[in-house]
Structure 1
Amino acid sequence: MNNRWLEIEVFTRVAESGSFSRAAQELELSQPSTSRIVTGLEARLGVKLLLRTTRNVALTEAGALFLEKARQATADIEDAEDAVRGIDSLRGTIRLAVPIVYGTRAIIPALPRFLERYPELRVEITMRDERQNLVSAGVDMAIRMGTLEDSTFGARKIASVERLLVAAPSYLAKRGTPRTPEELTDHDTILHELGSPGKSTLVLLKEGTAQKVTLRGKLKIDAAPGVLAAALAGLGIANVTTIMSEQELREGKLVRLMSEYELEPLKAFAVFPSGPRPSTKVQALVTHLISALAN
């Protein structure tokens, strides 16, 4: 293998995994060889790319810049290979980060047909609700819900997800069932936004008229499974998605509230840390997800 491409591959795996030993294992190299290759790259460039401690490895500012460019160069090479082989011969690994509930109930169920079509592809999935640093996490694509923060990342909308208000029968038996937006202010709400000061603003639509309501709650949870569990436990009213709650609604464990009112749908986006032009295999996955989720 060309020495420069070996350097890029080794450096990228060390930077993404945060470990020389883990990168060496993945690349089937010895740890001394892995360390020597990265040290040689730093010497050739004349800059420090990684800060090494006894426990982990961190990128320097120069290292973060080099990692970004290295990923783009690798993606360009992969695109060139894919172009020669043809779209039906995609191969390699897609590293994907997804929220827990949406990933479990929407993204993963859509993957079988995709992997059947591209048998040479592998998908590695990280599942968490907090918005991690996608560059340091080493992912090719992330699924994010709601409003996107300003960034240099590329993004594409893949779906709109219906939202609704729900509560457990046990909660409604104790506190009554709200019929109007005004009545919601007298109820306990399970808040999902940890940054909110004990309250959340909700916009409800009815016959084209919007009404803004400030909801208050004693309980804040930063992950969707916790919000769902709290609602099932009768701890208050929850603002959830249909995908998140459809099974519980069918089984009668949750009750939909104020169905004559609409909530603004939650948008799901595919986000690309490498920029607005993702690799061919990532583009293929996005196209598949848009079609699968629409159905």
Structure 2
Amino acid sequence: MNDRLSALRLFVRAARVGNFSRAGRELGLSQPSASRLIAALEEEIGATLFNRTTRAVTLTEAGATYLMRVEAILALIDDADHEARGTGELRGSLRVGTPISFGLREIVPRLPAFMKQHPALKIELRLTDRYPDLVTEGLDVSFQFGPLPDSSATARKILHQARILSASPRYLRERGTPTMPSDLAHHVVIISPAHPSPTFSFRKDGRVTSVRVDSPLSITTNEVATASAVAGLGIAASSESSAQTELEAGQLVRVLPDWDFGSMELNALFVSGKTIKPAARAFTDFLLKELRAPY
């Protein structure tokens, strides 16, 4: 039974990533062992599940149908195991995706309490400021700010955070403090994932004001953009929590605080049509409670 379950889990991962070696590594198997396990599964059920080439493996028509059934079955098995234990303790693995700043500042400090509750659960935290592909990267849940790029994902809203602009006191002393959005055109405004567009829009007294900036500095991670603002390189956009520590320490100062710069919605994303893994559901519930708890 364990061999069959292992083969089914390997089949699902290989189908999602298109590679036996990568799927095998994720499950602690060598490439030859992974290939043998899949071949044995195909022989046992009497169908070819994959088209194999030197570069990748793709599902056959039979494999695609089998995948839909097997994923649902494995999710039910995980749920059944979890309920049967009756202790609420989670086991197995949990792959979590998160933007870098949110992961460092909000998730990591809260992980010890969650891991203490579930010592048998293995957690893989994948931090990136690009939107991950939940399917190919095998994520059980991904926490993301902003508009949802993948309409096929199932989203659960966690919270809203204000989007802000901030700069170091030194930068503002040297370059002056903007008092109107139009002043940003004469400042170094750091482009980052928190606001990748060169057009900045603000609302005040029911009116919208927009300004386009020509930035000499573009950074691919929000955490580094915040650090760059602290270093005096310019004005950075971020969610409120991404700069909270620096604001409280006086390393950064809000810029245009009287203007509404909009908000960023945080969502937990799950693969659409796939039963949510108990560990992913439990971790999302845990984080939701933690983030909404008063300080």
* TM class, shorter-length: 0.7 to 0.9
Query: 243, 268, 271: which is aligned to 2:269?
Result: 271
C-alpha distance in 1 between matches for 2:53 and 2:207: 52
Q: Are positions 1:215 and 2:239 aligned together?
A: no
C-alpha distance in 1 between matches for 2:132 and 2:273: 17
User: What is the correspondence of 1:120-135 to structure 2 with a 5 Å cutoff?
Assistant: 120-135=120-135
Q: Secondary structure at the match of 1:275?
A: coil
Q: Secondary structure at the match of 1:125?
A: strand
Of 260-269 and 26-35, the range deviating more from structure 2: 26-35
Structure 1 partner of 2:252: 254
Amino acid at match of 1:214: V
Structure 1 partner of 2:202: 203
Amino acid at match of 1:135: V
Q: Are positions 1:243 and 2:241 aligned together?
A: yes
Amino acid at match of 1:246: Q
Structure 1 partner of 2:101: 101
Amino acid at match of 2:288: I
C-alpha distance in 1 between matches for 2:259 and 2:166: 13
Residue deviations 1:55-112, cap 9 Å, x none? xx45457667755654333112101222222361322211111111111101122222
Amino acid at match of 1:256: R
Change (3 A) 1:89 1:230: closer
User: What is the correspondence of 1:1-295 to structure 2 with a 5 Å cutoff?
Assistant: 1=1, 4-14=4-14, 20=20, 23-24=23-24, 27=27, 31-42=31-42, 44-49=46-51, 51-53=53-55, 57=56, 59-60=58-59, 67=67, 69-86=69-86, 88-193=88-193, 199-204=198-203, 206=204, 208-216=205-213, 217-273=215-271, 275=273, 277-295=275-293
Q: Secondary structure at the match of 1:136?
A: coil
- The answer to whether the 8 A contact 2:202-2:259 is kept is no
In the TM superposition, what is the alpha-carbon distance from 1:179 to its structure 2 partner? 1.1
Gaps spanning 5+ residues in structure 1: where?
Answer: none
- The answer to whether the 8 A contact 2:19-2:57 is kept is no
- The answer to whether the 8 A contact 1:49-1:60 is kept is yes
Change (3 A) 1:276 1:42: closer
Gaps spanning 5+ residues in structure 2: where?
Answer: none
Q: Secondary structure at the match of 1:164?
A: strand
C-alpha distance in 2 between matches for 1:52 and 1:21: 12
In the TM superposition, what is the alpha-carbon distance from 1:268 to its structure 2 partner? 0.9
Change (3 A) 1:77 1:22: same
Length-normalised TM-score, structure 2: 0.84
Of 156-165 and 92-101, the range deviating more from structure 2: 156-165
Q: Secondary structure at the match of 1:202?
A: strand
C-alpha distance in 1 between matches for 2:176 and 2:212: 16
- The answer to whether the 8 A contact 1:156-1:270 is kept is yes
C-alpha distance in 1 between matches for 2:198 and 2:25: 48
Instruction: Give the percent of matched residue pairs that are identical in Structure 1 and Structure 2.
Output: 34
- The answer to whether the 8 A contact 1:93-1:124 is kept is yes
Change (3 A) 1:250 1:2: closer
Q: Secondary structure at the match of 2:160?
A: strand
C-alpha distance in 2 between matches for 1:178 and 1:61: 60
